[in-house]
Structure 1
Amino acid sequence: MTLFLIYLLLGAGAGLLAGLFGIGGGLVIVPVLILTFQALGFPLEILVHLAVGTSLATIIPTSISSTLTHHRKGGVNWHWFRLIAPGIVLGALLGAWTASLLSGLALQNIIGTFVLLVAVQMAFNLKPAPGRGQPPTPVMAAAGGLIGWASAIFGIGGGTLSVPFLTWCNAVMRQAVGTSAALGFPIAVFGALGNLWAGWQHPELPDWATGYIYWPAFVGIVLASVPFARLGAKLAHFLPELLLKRLFALLLLLVGLRFLLT
């Protein structure tokens, strides 16, 4: 019961962040699941992979909820989505396969380093200057491939990568966040499928896991994440974005250091 409550709280926090920043919530879900799975005594060789795969699976319903809210407010550029999504599909499948080749400790260190970099970016509000306009279609597809590949490795919805890219393409912030939330759907679907396949019938999987997806965590997180993603998307239009980002950056800094120093 206590564990399920943790999953519910985790889902609420992840959903809120997904709606606020278009980040898919994985930056919160993956670290907390890693710590939770460590406490449960899951083998180190698979617990990080389980956290990544489960995170990607939970982002599927969260991204749908967040995207619908942003779409109603005119915040999704579907033309850009169609240009970027094919690259994301291929990249996400490749990223899941890449992660499966890494040891649990190596994957944890890579995630810890990424979390620290995101903390710095959010704390100082670093982002590319807009004004370049839409790149050629091959560039959009290639960018989608890179975003999907990295997101599937880190277990995230891709917002920390796609929002800066869309801003660089001259999208206003609200449209960048909304479009990023929509792009989180193919990332999550194909990243989760890749992890399902990569971990299929692994001998050290715990009960209630299929591939690298742990269903008790999935259910608890999804139950809370969907309504809170809708709330976060609404709050994104009212709350001071810079203050929220800096507070979140502090949390990420602590999480990243925790991973790299253990």
Structure 2
Amino acid sequence: MITVSMLSMEWLLFYAVLGAFVGFMAGLLGVGGGGILVPLLASTFAYQGIEQQVHVALGTALTCMIITSAASTRAHNARGAVEWKVVGGMALGIIMGAYASTQIASKVNAVYIALFFAMFMALVAIQMFIGWQPNPSRKPMTQRRLVGVGFGIGAVSALAAVGGGFLMILYLSYKSIEIRKAIGTSAAIGFPIAISGAAGYMVGGWSETLNIPYAVGYVYLPACIVISVASIIAAPIGVRLSHNLPASLLKKIFAVVSLLLSAKMLLSVM
């Protein structure tokens, strides 16, 4: 059970630093920030004594992503790096997939969710390290295909709170869209994922977290609010840097971060 002392100024400052880091990385890599935030929050909540820390970390991370994705998208859009036709075409599928996934996740043992997250992020790292890319497709991105792809990306992303960054970037690369526009578009895709995913975790965890003060379902409000505010400030800095770094370096950064987070999540449930 969380106590008043656990909401001290030190913890609020810690959340602020965490939010600045996540916002910066979200702007730099277009990953929404959730994949970075989940293992760090899970460890933090466990230390604070918050029960069901993996579920709460997922719900809180997705809710934070609403603000982080909005700030990152705004900055990328200012540089013309968002393919809005793709975002609009996928939106319905993303919302349905993300919400359905959270309802399943709220009933699944936290260990299995942590293992899924860790394996997913490890695959992200491997793909980036070896530089594998699907052969470019010349098939048009029809509305039906975009909804279907959006559903899959939304479902997987909400389960791992990754904002769709990796899957979206991979898909757009498959469609021969250059890396900076892929990053900007994936940041925009993170917004509907975050909204529907956050709503799903709030509803799914409503009766499970009644004994956790300041929690709304699986969303822990103090961490969510402070992290979100800090991320707004830091996200544009990451965006500026992403437009000044070589694409190959961005991919390597993405790979290293993904591998570290995979290991961190595994350690959090051992």
The normalised TM-score by structure 2 is 0.90
* The 10-residue stretch of structure 1 (154-163 or 131-140) with the greater mean CA deviation from structure 2: 131-140
2:67 is aligned to: 61
SS across alignment from 1:75 = coil
Q: What runs of 5+ residues in structure 1 fail to find an aligned partner?
A: none
Out of 46, 55, 58, the residue aligned to residue 52 of structure 1 is 58
Cα deviation, residue 251, structure 1:
4.1
1:232, distance to aligned residue in structure 2 (A)? 1.0
1:255 maps to amino acid: L
Deviation at 1:23, TM superposition (A): 0.4
The DSSP-based 3-state class of the residue aligned with 2:140 is coil
Aligned residue among 92, 95, 110 for 2:98: 92
2:191 paired with 1:185: yes
Superimposed CA distance per residue, residues 192-240 of structure 1 (whole angstroms, 9 cap, x where no aligned partner)? 0000100013256421100010011112211211121111111111023
Corresponding residue for 1:257? 263
Q: CA RMSD in A?
A: 1.7
Does the CA-based 8 Å contact 2:154-2:193 persist in structure 1? yes
* Equivalent residue, structure 1, for 2:48: 40
TM-score with structure 1 setting the length:
0.93
- Unaligned runs of 5+ residues in structure 2 are 1-8
How many residue pairs align between the two structures? 260
User: 2:32 matched to which residue of 1?
Assistant: 24
Does the 8 Å CA contact 2:214/2:220 hold for their aligned counterparts?
Answer: yes
Equivalent residues in 2 for 1:1-262 (5 A)?
Answer: 1-43=9-51, 46-203=52-209, 205-260=211-266, 262=270
Letter of the structure 1 residue corresponding to residue 58 of structure 2: V
For the structure 1 residues 181 and 252, does the alpha-carbon distance in structure 2 shift closer, same or farther, using more than 3 Å as the test?
A: closer
Moved more, 13-22 or 141-150: 13-22
> Identical aligned pairs, as a percentage?
39
* 8 Å Cα contact 1:119/1:250 also seen in 2: yes
Q: Deviations over 1:80-109 (max 9, x none)?
A: 111111100100111111211211111111
- Distance verdict in 2 for CA 1:204–1:252, change over 3 Å: farther
